[in-house]
Amino acid sequence: MTTNQINEREKLIASANTLRWEIGENIHDSIIESIYTDAAKIANKVVRIKEQKKKYSFDQTIDRIVTSKWLGFPIMFLLLAVVFWVTIEGANVPSGLIANLLVDTLHPLLKDFIASVGIPYWINGVLIDGAYLAMAWVISVMLPPMAIFFPLFTLLEDFGYLPRVAFNMDNLYRKVGAHGKQALTMTMGFGCNAAGIIATRIIDSPRERIIAIITNNFSLCNGRWPTQILIATIFIGGAVPAYLAGLVSAAAVVSIALLGIIFSLLVSWGLSKTVLKGEASAFSLELPPYRPPRILRTLYTSIIDRTIFVLWRAVVFAIPAGIVIWLVANVTIGGTNIAEHFIDWTDPFALFVGLNGVILLAYIIAIPANEIVVPTVLMLTVLVAGIAGVGSGSGVMFELDSIGDTSAILHAGGWTVLTGVNLMLFSLLHNPCSTTIYTIYKETKSIKWTVISTILPIIMGFAVCFFVAQLWRLIAS
Amino acid sequence: MIDQNKCEACPVHNAGNLKRLGINMDKFDFVVALAGNPNTGKSTVFNNLTGLKQHTGNWPGKTVTRAEGGFEFNKNRYKLIDLPGTYSLLSTSTDEEIARDFILFGQPDVTVVVVDATRLERNLNLVLQVLEITDRAIVCLNLMDEAGRRNIEIDERALTRDLGIPVVPTEARQDVGIPELLKTVDDVVTGKLICKPYRITGSSKGLTKAVENLAEKIKNEFPGLPNARWVALRLLDGDQKIIDAVRSGEISGIVKRNAIEENFATV
Amino acid sequence: MIDPLFALLIAFALSGILAVLFWPAKGIYATYKKAKRNTSRVLIEDTLKHLYDYEERTVRPTLRSIAGHLSIGVDDTIQLVEKLQSMGLVESSQDGIQITPQGRSYALRIIRIHRLWERYLADETSVKETEWHLEAEEKEHSISVEEAEALAAQMGNPVFDPHGDPIPTKDGEVPKRNGVPLTTLKNGKFGRIIHVEDEPHAIYSQLIAQGLYPGMQVRIINTEKNRIRFEVNGEECVLAPLFAANVHVIPIQKQEEITSEFKSLSSLRKGEKAVVVGISKACRGPQRRRLMDLGVVPGTLVTAELESIGRDPVAFNIKGATIAIRKKNADQIYIKEFSQEELN
Ligand SMILES: Nc1nc2c(ncn2[C@@H]2O[C@H](COP(=O)(O)OP(=O)(O)OP(=O)(O)O)[C@@H](O)[C@H]2O)c(=O)[nH]1
Ligand SMILES: [Mg+2]
């Protein structure tokens, strides 16, 4: 490129600039207007509509119902509740079966086999008691609910219901200064927060996009339901008669999910009043026509594709975490292992806010993947409470045959209903998993926002747990 | 990915002329971009041709990143790009920028604009904008089944004539019209079909004069540039990417198509 | 274990203290930061802007005007001007204080950042109109040139700020303001006074007595052979053409408000149809572009289809698609009754 050429180009750009002063600001308007004029001309020539259309009014009828003043929200909650209920009820049995196979049957076999080959005990421990068991647990706990939830969710998505949710909820989002499409990204977050955060690209306004990114973590992702479902079943379902247990636990999980939505609204409001000051910007959302979903194809793609994909990720993270768990439980300093050191050290604070040291340690180990929180908690509880005769020994992650056993362990570890409730709250309000944090960084390209979206939920989690614990104790005493 | 081969044998696919290559995009001969308004079935067409499982969903904005896949048809290997849906190429949200940048700088050999047959007018907005940038484009008139159900009829021949580019009616979800689409892609990339795209006519007087004035200068600087008018418009709108492209001379790559293509392949 | 009541009280006290400390805009931290704002950099930059402004308006700056502008004492101002002189940014002679070319380009850089930031606030943040200027006054001192350029690029290199003033280019160019005599402005048009001719003095003092200064905005009400009636800053004013010719204005594009004549889209009830006439100029930037891309252009037929709770948002059928629009935006879209001929 010669200097002459460069000069010519700079001149060209400069002359464009001068012209811009002259023609003023309306250029975009006139371009679009003239394009649309041409488009209308062509369309008028080639499109013919033969008298009116029945199908169309069918669409409108559904729309009238699902967006109506009185029925809109109830239908939404009902659908949400049904989806969770079906997931909880349906996942129970297959979960047990898989656990039976992978943990109760296969695990001892593998262990014996390795032992018989003569490999040192610690390799056996790290690989089989750590990595393998973590993976087995993740599969048995996650596969069934995901294989139910994803297809259900995809059916709703394919039908065209999600944009209607956004339409119904926009009123709330506008009032807190957020974008209406945040409702869409939030529902995506119910599947996976990282996916929800990438989906925020549909939000034009940078301010509102950051709000949507920060608050996406308040959508319970699928890595956190197993925790919610299990704890709800033990501590809340356990407190009511058996025939109500399923319903009541589903209701508890739905309430946590709704609480998440409320928190996301509150935080959005707080942000748009302070660091991300501003009113809600324009919102325009196309409501697509309803399309009958193709059930078989949906089942196939959502199970094979989404479920396997998410599961794969969980397994990949569970294996190293399993190894870490085994190590903290078996490497000792001054006679006690690392886990116990940590638990003793954090217990005073943790108990004060209604949690315990075990939970805190579990959440640190589970930063890569939320899925493994509960197995870690169980394993550590056994370790600390020194319960004999359960599991397969110290530092082994296991699945217990019945919820009753799990419940017995937790109660023996000093858990109360308060601990259960607070664990559910803390599972809603804590830092996003490492993949999500990385995604936030990639999408915002800002360390500041990444740190804020990581720290903010933890602070909120501790604050909420603290208040719940104190109020609980006040009322109980 | 299990049923990848299932449909290969069925007659709709021109007796095996189409080979879905999944994510295999080695040594491709041509690049095909899928553009279009949101929710018109781009990802469905993409999955159909590559055998991949790009997520589809019935709401605008499902795809927000660019996806790539490969297929082989009539001995030619293609790289297919699924782009996020856009209403226009003039706005600036992240997903739309991805689409625009690819059509502009990715230098696809042909851009297939997937169009919702039930809402032709609003979709033509984008088609006309694409035609300002490139003259190798095909309109894929998708969702014909829905148009039929709503008693909407479209005169495809008139549309082809008016737009100056081929128009192929399809029902991507039901695999209808895909073989014809492939045939047309083949015809365009091999030069059997030459497009003479429609160009936008009027706009305000002051603007037209400014555009002509500037386009003249651009043509002097970059002789042979096919879309000088469009570049002028973008400069007048202050589009930084285009300003940079003019400054670096990259904009003339649109003329020296082949040279750029090699560069792009190595990127 | 700590008594829960006690713990709660402590927690409330703590959050109270934190709130007092960090409450946005009013908290101690925010106040402290605001107070620290008057650093020497800010003072220097504000002085240069003031000098540039006066130069543009052909008014002579004085030490007092600078002191008034910065709200600091005259002694401090003298020191400040000396400092500026030693930096080569201003010169002072018997004629008064003058800005040097270096100082001018510095001032233009600040003005560029100021106007860019206003544009940014207007287009992309939905900060209230009344706050644009104030926020930009702060921001202009803290943004680096690189950041400003990145911002400009991202916004499509705007050339006007939201008030219609030109944004100087990176190299400090601003379009020549070719003023025209007030007499040439047509009825109903807007202009901004850029120059009040000070010769002959008799006419000048008359104009000053009328309170006409550069920077004021005028709107012509009507022109007759021997007098011109116009509105300036909300007050009506009458001048003879001889006098008016000594006031130079630049025509500005003030939106011809179409509000009064047309209804807005938000007034459309479920099931009603109307034709779009235009979008208010108050809807700018990406929001405006987005609406137009969706087909909200003059002549489009729209039908209200669905209403969300509280009639906000409402979904309209626009060119075949159902599109939900918030009331705030629907307010800015003007419509007229639809008639059959209109359709073709
Ligand atoms: N009835 C019918 N539905 C179709 C057809 N093609 C696609 N669809 C459906 O239309 C919806 C949108 O399809 P996608 O392929 O996700 O659309 P897209 O253009 O990729 O959308 P974005 O990624 O949001 O831009 C899905 O629910 C598809 O199943 C068709 O020919 N007929
Ligand atoms: Mg897509």
pLDDT digits (tens, 9 = 90+) for A420-468: 999 999 999 999 988 899 999 999 999 999 999 999 999 999 999 999 9
Given this model, what pLDDT does residue B6 score?
46
User: What local confidence, expressed as pLDDT, does residue A403 receive?
Assistant: 62
* CB atoms A294 and B122 under 8 Å: no
Distance from the CA of A288 to the center of ligand 2, in angstroms?
Answer: 14
Answer yes or no: are the C-beta atoms of A12 and B218 closer than 8 Å.
yes
CB of B160 within 8 A of CB of B180?
A: no
Closest CA to C193 of C98, C62, C59: C59
What is the Cα–Cα distance from A388 to A26, expressed in whole angstroms? Answer: 78
Question: Hey, which of A82-96, A338-352, A453-467 has the most confident mean pLDDT?
Answer: A453-467
Q: Is the pLDDT of residue C292 over 60?
A: yes
Instruction: Please determine, for residue C258, whether its predicted confidence score (pLDDT) is greater than 80.
Output: no
Q: What is the pLDDT of residue C155?
A: 82
Handedness of CA B20, B26, B30, B31 (dihedral sign): positive
ipTM of the complex: 0.85
Does B46 score more than 50 pLDDT?
yes
Supply B32's token pair.
């095909």
Interface test mutation site (partner B, options C161, C289, C290, C293, max chain B beta carbons within 10 A): C293
pLDDT at B166: 95
Tell me: the pLDDT tens digits for A174-191? 899 898 889 989 988 887
Query: Beta strand pairing status for C333-336 and C263-264?
Result: antiparallel
pLDDT, tens digit (0-9, with 9 covering 90-100), for B27-45: 889 999 999 999 999 999 9
Collapsing DSSP to helix, strand or coil, C70 comes out as helix
Burial C264-301 (b: 16+ CB within 10 A, else e): bbbebeeeeebbbbbbbbebbbbbbbbbbbbbbbbebb
Contacts of A294 in chain B (CB under 8 A): 173
| A307, A192 Cβ separation under 8 angstroms | no
Task: Check if B173 has its Cβ closer than 6 Å to any atom of ligand 1.
Answer: yes
Locus of tokens 């739309």: B96
Shortest CA distance to A376 belongs to which of A418, A325, A419, A431?
A325
Q: How confident is the model at residue B114 (pLDDT cuts 50, 70, 90)?
A: very high
Please provide residue A69's backbone torsions phi and psi, each rounded to the nearest 5 degrees. -55, -45
pLDDT tens, position by position, A251-284: 888 899 999 999 999 999 999 888 887 766 777 8
Q: Is residue C323 scored above 70 in pLDDT?
A: yes
Minimal CA separation from A126 to chain B, in Å: 34
**Residue among B34, B37, B52, B62 whose CB has most ligand 1 atoms within 8 A, to mutate:** B62
Give yes or no for residue A52 having a pLDDT over 70.
Answer: no
DSSP 8-state code for residue B164: T
pLDDT value of residue A20:
82
Q: Do C158 and C152 meet the contact criterion of CB atoms below 8 Å apart?
A: yes
Residue A210's pLDDT band (cuts 50, 70, 90): very high
Nearest to A304 by CA among B24, B22, B2: B2
Residue A388: the pLDDT is 44
8 Å CB contact of B91 and C289: yes
- Identify the DSSP state of B139: E
Residues C13-39: tens digit of each pLDDT: 999 999 888 887 778 888 887 777 667
Q: B91 to chain C: which residues are within 8 Å by CB? A: 286, 289-290, 293
Is residue B67 within 8 Å of residue B46, measured between CB atoms?
yes
Which tokens sit at B134?
């490139």
Of the candidate ranges C66-70, C116-120, C281-285, the one whose mean pLDDT is the lowest: C281-285
Distance between CA atoms of residues B177 and A69, nearest Å:
42
Model confidence at A100, pLDDT cuts 50, 70, 90, reads confident
Please compute the mean of the pLDDT values over residues A13-33 and round it to a whole number. Answer: 80
Q: Sorting pLDDT into bands at 50, 70 and 90, what band is B7? A: very low
pTM of this structure: 0.82
- Residue numbers of B between 22 and 61 with CB closer than 8 Å to A: 38-39, 53, 56-61
Alpha-carbon dihedral angle through residues B97, B103, B108, B112, given to the nearest 10 degrees:
110
Identify whether the C-beta of residue B117 lies closer than 8 Å to the C-beta of residue B146. Answer: yes
Give the A:C interface size as CB pairs under 8 Å. 156
Question: Once rounded to an integer, what is the mean pLDDT over residues A95-121?
Answer: 81
Domains of chain B in sequence order: 4-189 (3.40.50.300), 205-265 (no CATH)
C152 contact residues in B (CB cutoff 8 A): 240
Average pLDDT over residues B217-227: 83
Confidence check: pLDDT of B143 > 60: yes
Is B221 within 8 Å of A34 when comparing Cβ atoms? Answer: no
Cα separation of B85 and B35, whole Å? 7
Q: How many CB atoms lie within 10 A of CB A175?
A: 14
**pLDDT value at residue B11:** 43
B11, burial (CB in 10 Å: exposed 0-12, middle 13-18, buried 19+):
exposed
pLDDT, tens digit (0-9, with 9 covering 90-100), for B51-66: 888 888 888 888 888 8
Q: Which of A364, A317, A326, A321 is nearest to A342 (CA)?
A: A364
Chain-chain contact of B125 with C295 (C-beta, under 8 angstroms): yes
Structure tokens at C281: 């100029």
Give the pLDDT of residue B10: 43
The Cα C248–Cα C236 span in angstroms is 18
> Which residue would you say has higher pLDDT here, A77 or A142?
A77
Phi, psi of C277, rounded to the nearest 5 degrees: -105, -30
Q: Which residue minimizes the CA distance to atom 13 of ligand 1?
A: B41
Distance CA A163, CA A181 (A): 8
Is the CB of residue A173 less than 8 Å away from at least one CB of chain C?
no
**In angstroms, rounded to a whole number, what is the distance separating the alpha carbons of residues A392 and A396?**
6
CA distance C135 to C129: 10
Lowest pLDDT segment from A20-29, A105-114, A356-365, B30-39: A20-29
pLDDT of residue A390: 44
Across chain B, which distance is largest between two alpha carbons, in Å?
59
| C91 in Cβ contact with C104 (< 8 Å) | no
Please give the average per-residue pLDDT across B74-91, as a whole number: 89
Q: Which atom of ligand 1 is nearest to the CA of B82?
A: 20
Pairing assessment for the beta strands C90-93 and C235-239 based on DSSP bridges: unpaired
Rounded CA gap, C85 and C92, in Å?
8
Rounded CA-CA distance C263/C337 in Å is: 9
C-alpha distance from C154 to closest chain B C-alpha (Å): 7
pLDDT of residue A1: 56
- Adjacent-strand bridge partners of C301: C275
Closest CA to B231 of B209, B213, B246, B220: B246
Distance, C-alpha A70 to centroid of its chain: 29
pLDDT-derived band at B262 (thresholds 50, 70, 90) equals very low
d(CA C336, CA C88): 60
As a whole number of angstroms, the distance between CA A198 and CA B94 comes to: 11
Instruction: Name residue, tokens 């949507």.
Output: A212
Comparing A44-58, B86-100, B222-236, the range with the smallest average pLDDT is A44-58
Mean pLDDT computed over A27-44: 88
Which amino acid is it at A50?
Answer: K
CB B178 within 8 A of CB B14: no
Beta strand C217-223 pairing with C190-196 = antiparallel
More confident residue, C260 or C198: C198
Q: What is the mean pLDDT of residues C253-277?
A: 77
Asked if residues A256 and A83 have their Cβ atoms less than 8 Å apart, the reply is no
DSSP letter (8 states) at residue B118: G
Mean pLDDT across chain C, nearest whole number?
83
- pLDDT over 80 (residue B206): no
DSSP C223-235: E-SS-EEEEETTE
Ligand nearest the Cα of residue B86 is 1
Which of the pair, A350 or C154, is modelled with greater confidence? Answer: A350
